[in-house]
Amino acid sequence: MSKDTKVNKLKNEEFKIWKKSVPSLYQHISFFKPQLDARLGDVLQFEKRFTFNNEVIPDQKRGVLNTGLFYSVGSNIYKLDCSLPLGLQHGGNEQELPDPQYNEVFKQVGGDTFPSPHWILPGETIIKMSPLESGENTLLALTSTASLAWFKEGSRNPTHIMQEIMGPSTSFSSIHSIRNSECLAVCDFDLSRDKKELVKCQADRKEGQSTIKIVDNSDKVGTPLRRFNVEASVIHSVSFLDNNLYVTCSDENVVSFWDKRSDSQLWSFTDSQDGNITSLSSSSQLDGFFATGTDAGVIKLWDLRAIMSQQQEMVSFYHSNEDPVVDLQFSPTNSTEFLSVGKSGNVYQWDTDFFFTNEEVDEEDLHLQCLKFLHTGGSRRSIGANDKRNMVNWHPAIDQLVGTIDNDCSIAAYKAFTGREEEQQDEEDEQE
């Protein structure tokens, strides 16, 4: 933030004017703030992460959807049961839905006064979690030392651990690449489309080199299948493009493409325009489709097939006031939607359908049409050292349901109401 008061006031007014043009009404939103054991100490000092689980159980009689979520605080992972309106997944056109009858919207698991951890990983700090759809394990977690841990129901301790020793790393800013000279440890992972394998990157910024590992996630969970070093490169993000190809981004703004069956890079390009690349995500719905985000607030969408012939993004979007992009998440249920998270805590929800269905369109109009929703609640109540990465996630099965966790451990689950679908239908009815 600028030290010039006049500049800050001007930016605030510009943001207010801009925000009025962006939908910000909710079809549904619920909040919950767990009361953690005071013996843990100041909750703000711990890293928090968030993800939904894969369960969705409709209760037609009560008119609710029963699902759940996991959130981590430092080395502890907690489970939270959640009841949401049945209409979030089922439209009301086919049948009349009953009014939701809640006992509790959120119900903490493991204690009435304060929750006890569902799983624990002593001595580690969890920085990323991913629910597992099948097999004996329920959740996969990455720690700040680049270690991986698999958890299952019925056991508080991991069933498998892939231990790494990296460090020192004492804050989130020293884990993921936001170009701090003091940053040393960097790591990330992603599951293949069939969930049978995963790719993990880890680097020591001081040494200036990275290691990539392909790891079994099915038959021999946690067993390394391939390992190789990447010299003179600090890789901070990795994402599968299909079951074999994956893409990485490095501190040097190099976007590289790899095949999990080989140790050699397939090809790469450098994108130094519009700031430094800080985030990466790929679509699970469209093979070869991915996005990058920069510290200048610019988001670029890429198609692997187009990159092979020319280094050019398909389209680019931007955050208000050049808010740095710290995370990107493609929708697991919709091929045209993705989320971007700003360092401010703002969560932007985009829909690229307008881009794909209109050949010629003004850039400003394209941005306004594709920005579907803006959530300004995430991480705004207590902005701390966290960079908000992996603190926002889509529900894997309930379309457009988003969850967030704040630095003060407040949890929100919401679904946007844009009104655009209704407006479109009204226009079509008028034409008829």
Give tens-digit pLDDT for 291-349.
999 999 999 999 998 887 777 899 999 998 999 999 999 999 999 999 999 998 899 99
Q: Is the pLDDT of residue 174 over 50?
A: no
**DSSP assigned state of 114:** S
Number of CB atoms found within 10 A of residue 134's CB: 9
Structure tokens at 144: 């700040």
* Nearest CA-CA partner of 403 in 37, 20, 103, 69: 69
Inter-CA distances, 356 with 31, 298, 301, 337, 370, Å: 35, 19, 12, 12, 10
| Angle at the Cα of 389 from the Cα atoms of 330 and 215, rounded to 5 degrees | 75
DSSP per-residue codes, 275-337? S-EEEEEE-SSSTTEEEEEETTSEEEEEEHHHHHH----SEEEE-GGGPPEEEEEE-SS-TTE
pLDDT, position 176: 41
E strand residue ranges, 221-264: 224-230, 235-240, 245-250, 254-259
Inter-CA distances, 245 with 102, 171, 261, Å: 45, 31, 9
Beta strands at 401-405 and 392-394: parallel, antiparallel or unpaired: antiparallel
The answer to whether the beta carbons of residues 88 and 66 sit under 8 Å apart is no
pLDDT, position 388: 76
CA 46 to chain centre: 19
Per-residue pLDDT reduced to its tens digit, 29-43: 999 998 887 778 888
The answer to whether the beta carbons of residues 156 and 118 sit under 8 Å apart is yes
Which domains occur in the chain, in start order? 5-166+183-395+404-416 (2.130.10.10)
Residue 180: which pLDDT band, with cuts at 50, 70 and 90?
Answer: very low
Per-residue pLDDT reduced to its tens digit, 77-94: 999 999 999 988 865 554
| Average pLDDT value for residue range 197-224 | 94
pLDDT, position 383: 54
User: 320-350 in b/e burial notation, b at 16+ Cβ within 10 A?
Assistant: bebbbbbbbbbbbeeebbbbbbbbbbbbbbb
Find the radius of gyration of the CA atoms of the chain.
21
Which residues are paired to 376 by β-bridges? Answer: none
Q: Any residues with CB less than 8 A from the CB of 330 and at least 6 apart, and which?
A: 281, 282, 283, 284, 285, 291, 337, 338
